[in-house]
Amino acid sequence: MNAGEQLRALRERLGLSIRDVETASAKLAAKYDDSDYIVSLSRLSDMETKGVSPNLHRLYSLSIVYHVDFADILRMYKLDLRNVPDDLGISAVPNTHLTNALDTQQEVEIPVRLDPGFDERSTSPIIRMIQRWGTIPIHLLKKFTTRKFTYGYVGHDDWTMYPLIMPGAFIQVDEGKRKVAEGPWRSEYERPIYLVETRDGFTCCWCEVIGSILTLKSHPLSPVKTRLVKMGSEAEIIGQVVGVAMQLEGRSAPPEAKGR
């Protein structure tokens, strides 16, 4: 069934007339003082029989009147919010920033059965060790951690941590780890990376603190210069980067270094 047919079937299953829908949506319009919420007799008829698409306000009204999740109404019109994680990579944003695009995700697919012969000490394609995937509500996963995470996107113009973290990467940030750790570290891979907010925006980098001065250190192979800023007035550490998801295919070279 197309979207209009689904809406009609849903309305009839609930025992609602077109007049009932108009009356209920008018109450919603009065509550918010916005006539865009009204689903009139003629408009609903056009939706159900002529394939006319409603505006966002009327979609919301229908979800309220029919007592269904707004996301379910959107899916009738082939707008599936579950596609957000896959689709985020389409937009090449130049600046590093925090993102809440994943906050509304209610379910996640995880491996629920692994191959009994799987040896975690050996490198292997993940698809070969997962026997079955399952979908579970995200809120059930929250009980497994007491840490507060936020998520960020490394802009396509941000080469600060190249080649460890490529532009276009998504990062997971532990907000409970804001104190800059001191070395020594055996390698650059052990050194903590932080997401920092400055007056110019966000950056993902190594950090050093001496007094009130915060040094934003770039990777040695990066063309981005190391910067000095004042803690508090000029910069704030959001947290430590604890997870990274990035594409390795099609990586471009950074611009020429302009000195340090």
Separation CA 122–CA 250 (nearest Å): 27
Q: Please give the full DSSP string across the chain, using - where no structure is assigned.
A: --HHHHHHHHHHHHT--HHHHHHHHHHHHHHHT-GGG---HHHHHHHHHH-PPP-HHHHHHHHHHTT--HHHHHHHTT--GGGHHHHGGGS--SS-EE--TTTT--EEEEEEEE-TT--TTS---HHHHEEEEEEEEGGGTGGG----EEEEE--TT--TTTTTS-TT-EEEEETT--SPPP---SSTTTS--EEEEETTEEEEEEEEEETTEEEEEPPTT-SSPPEEEEBTTTEEEEEEEEEEE---TTPPPPPPP---
Instruction: Tell me the pLDDT band of 258, cut-offs 50, 70 and 90.
Output: very low
Report residue 79 as tokens: 């707008």
Predicted pLDDT of residue 105: 59
The pLDDT tens digits of the residues spanning 6-58 come to 999 999 999 999 999 999 999 999 999 999 999 999 999 999 999 999 999 99
* Amino acid at residue number 17: S
Predicted pLDDT of residue 142: 55
Predicted pLDDT of residue 129: 55
* pLDDT-above-90 percentage for the chain: 55
The pLDDT tens digits of the residues spanning 202-227 come to 999 999 999 999 999 999 999 999 99
The pLDDT tens digits of the residues spanning 172-181 come to 899 999 999 9
Domains of the chain: 3-79 (1.10.260.40), 146-245 (2.10.109.10)
**Matching residue, tokens 């800059």:** 180
Evaluate if residue 65 carries a pLDDT over 90: yes
Evaluate if residue 240 carries a pLDDT over 90: yes
Predicted pLDDT of residue 107: 58
- Nearest CA to 3 among 55, 56, 52, 66? 52
